[in-house]
Structure 1
Amino acid sequence: MAKAAEPQGLAGPSPGSVSSLRHADASRRTDRQRSPGCAVRHGTHLRSLHFRAAPDRGGEQARRPPGAWQEVSRTLSLHALGSQIVIQGEGAEAAACEIEQAEALLTRFQASPLTELNARGVLRAPPGILVEAIGHALSVARETSGLVTPAVLTALEVAGYAQAIGERRGTAATVLDTSEVVCTPEVIRLAAGLRLDLGGTAKSWIAERAFTRISGDGFINAGGDLITRQSAAFAVEIAHPLGGTPLYLDCPAGTWGVATSSTLKRAWEGGHHLIDPRTARPLESDLIQVTVVANCPTNAEVLTKLAFLDTGMLDELQGNAQVYAYDRAGQFWIRSWKVWQKMET
């Protein structure tokens, strides 16, 4: 594996402290410091169990009625969070209920407590899940110096992702600071003009929350976000964003989170859904797809976005997570020792 020139990206602010994001719960600190230790290889998968790491396509926002699940070979499937969700393991039904309940409270595409908050600027006696989800998003925003922030709704609408992909609303946007947001069990209050979109952090957070319902081996695959616990080694397939031969990561037994983000999915002419808060526009990068394997999906999801936005902050936060990317030419890269290393495919 030879070193190559690092893909060019936009310069960003100096990295801040991110230790609390890596180790949000001291009781889980030892587990979160473990390295996935995945090995990249070509060819077909050899493991009896493998997962496909690919970003969800998005687009369809209509929800099926609660409980509209499909069970195939001990695997439960449902459409939620703008993705096809696949759940396997003891407790899959309870996990599906958890996902549907969270979606109903956190969606911006249908009437929900979140849309009420955005319309009024204040919500008293908010649902506990909304308080927790916004609290998580605000924590991520603080620890990434605002690079991964829920304050991008207006920017998304102006760029072309209002109620549907490609639908524009408004002509100008700025991404406001979230430091003055009040988020308590009694009230959530937004600063004037601020509206929230939780899409940057909520899906992995919901998957991780729902996974507590699964006992023993199992997984939740939510489009581009996967959490799995396996007692034997398994493989993760990294889909080629330009249709080439996929790569495979051989992963050891354990509990891992995998996240994939792409500028080619949830995209339309002239834009995509990944917003750079410094410009309030869809981000510009030589990278088109990033996959991260970490100890939990919430960390992995944040790292995928930092890989596009600011490699300095990515290096501060990466820890033992493994970061993989494809550039516009279809070249495969691995982030290691604070540089991008090119892998011949």
Structure 2
Amino acid sequence: MEHARTFRCFGGAVTVLVGGAAPDGTTAEAAAAAAEALLLEVNDRLTRFDPASELSRLNADPRPAVPASATVRRLAAAVRTAGVLTGGLVDATLLTELEQAGYERSREGAAGLAAAPDAFTGPARPARAARWRDVRADDVAGTVVRPPGVRLDAGGLGKGLAADLAGELLAAHPLYCVACEGDLRIGGTAGVPRPVTVTHPVGREVLAALDVVDGGVATSGVHVRSWTGADGRPAHHLIDPRTGRPAHTGLVQVTALAPTGLEAEIRAKAALLAGPDDAGPHLPHGGVLLHADGRVERLAPPEPPPPRASMPGRTNV
């Protein structure tokens, strides 16, 4: 039996499932409670909707190097990792552009648009400025380094990172699953596959069923956090770095598989921003695409290469 805890965090419902005791005797119930406390702390540090949060204070600090907790340093490292992995498509320094699009306050409890925005404008492109290149974590000095005025948005990166942090806490238990508002980290020493369903954002129709033993699953889409902008046009939280406006690429939802929750989040967002023709390279571990016309496309991970034949007197490495 698994112990489950569901609570409000990251602007929605978060669930932690833990099965079995750890070798040190920690029960599933105690581990789930510890994971909840960890996730709430990460949320408090990384939210941009509280001016007193550590991330908000970092963003307002005029110094180029700012003392930061290990959690915020890992976020800064994730910002750079996202830029490198996606060639700048996933850029977590676009907070000003996100606010200008209409996402200045928390949208917790707010209904998204009834239908996906269909104002196709083409694939997103990286910004020439590439501000993410100037962000780094200095773990020796215990600081985050970035040019003053460059502000970070935790967003989906923060959820993927949080799921991984909780997964690290629960790794010794036979089974665990951390579900942070679309970002999942699954694992456990028992190595048991966990079924994961990918659903349509409107109507909850099942689009695909996945089995995950150990890794991350993340879904990024334009429905949940969507609204009508001041100009009367549909808007959402996925920003095209080149234009600074919400991206309308022909994809409305992408689910990505990856070894970690953070990487899955990065790859899901990158694939959606890249659009239907260029999504595939961003999903090397597989994924599910929902096109604006309602078509569902499933990309399978590549088959592992066949084992090399052994040679007498040699060891394959």
Is 1:181 aligned with 2:135? yes
Distance 1:178 1:296, change over 3 A: closer
Is 1:142 aligned with 2:107? no
In structure 2, give the amino acid aligned to 1:217.
L
Aligned position for 1:44 = none
Matches within 5 A, 1:129-278: 129-165=71-107, 177-185=131-139, 186=141, 187-214=143-170, 215-229=173-187, 231-243=191-203, 245-251=205-211, 254-269=213-228, 270-278=234-242
Contact 1:152 1:175 (8 Å CA) reproduced: no
Structure 1, 183-192 or 146-155: larger mean CA deviation: 183-192
Is 1:108 aligned with 2:58? no
TM-score normalised per structure 1: 0.68
- Following superposition, the deviation at residue 106 of structure 1 comes to 1.4
Distance 1:274 1:82, change over 3 A: same
Deviations 1:237-274 (A, max 9, x none): 1112332631341416x213111111111110121011
Deviations 1:197-233 (A, max 9, x none): 0113111111111112221112111110111226433
Distance 1:329 1:94, change over 3 A: same
In structure 1, give the amino acid aligned to 2:82.
V
Distance in 2, matches of 1:259 and 1:82, equals 16
Distance in 2, matches of 1:113 and 1:266, equals 24
Distance in 2, matches of 1:288 and 1:237, equals 17
In structure 1, give the amino acid aligned to 2:198.
I
Distance in 1, matches of 2:100 and 2:235, equals 10
Distance in 1, matches of 2:39 and 2:182, equals 15
Instruction: Give the match's secondary structure for 2:297.
Output: strand
> Any unmatched runs of 5+ in structure 2?
19-27, 111-126, 229-233, 303-317
Is 1:128 aligned with 2:70? yes
Aligned position for 2:58 = 117
Structure 1, 151-160 or 135-144: larger mean CA deviation: 135-144
TM-score normalised per structure 2: 0.74
- Following superposition, the deviation at residue 336 of structure 1 comes to 5.5
Distance in 2, matches of 1:182 and 1:250, equals 35
Distance in 2, matches of 1:135 and 1:288, equals 28
Distance 1:285 1:79, change over 3 A: same
Instruction: Give the match's secondary structure for 1:164.
Output: coil
Contact 1:306 1:313 (8 Å CA) reproduced: no
Aligned position for 1:322 = 286
- Following superposition, the deviation at residue 86 of structure 1 comes to 0.4
Contact 1:155 1:175 (8 Å CA) reproduced: no
Distance in 1, matches of 2:145 and 2:194, equals 44
Instruction: Give the match's secondary structure for 1:163.
Output: coil
In structure 1, give the amino acid aligned to 2:149.
G
Instruction: Give the match's secondary structure for 2:186.
Output: strand
Matches within 5 A, 1:1-80: 74-80=3-9
Aligned position for 1:283 = 247
Distance in 1, matches of 2:105 and 2:128, equals 19
Aligned position for 2:25 = none
Contact 2:79 2:132 (8 Å CA) reproduced: no
Aligned positions, number: 259
Contact 2:175 2:192 (8 Å CA) reproduced: no
Match of 2:38 among 98, 101, 114: 98
Aligned position for 2:115 = none
Percent sequence identity over matched residues? 28
Distance 1:184 1:233, change over 3 A: closer
Contact 1:240 1:247 (8 Å CA) reproduced: yes
- Superposition CA RMSD, Å: 2.6
In structure 1, give the amino acid aligned to 2:252.
I
Instruction: Give the match's secondary structure for 1:212.
Output: helix
> Any unmatched runs of 5+ in structure 1?
1-48, 50-72, 167-172, 339-345
Structure 1, 157-166 or 100-109: larger mean CA deviation: 157-166
Deviations 1:97-144 (A, max 9, x none): 111111121111111121111112335332121112111221221332
Distance 1:153 1:329, change over 3 A: same
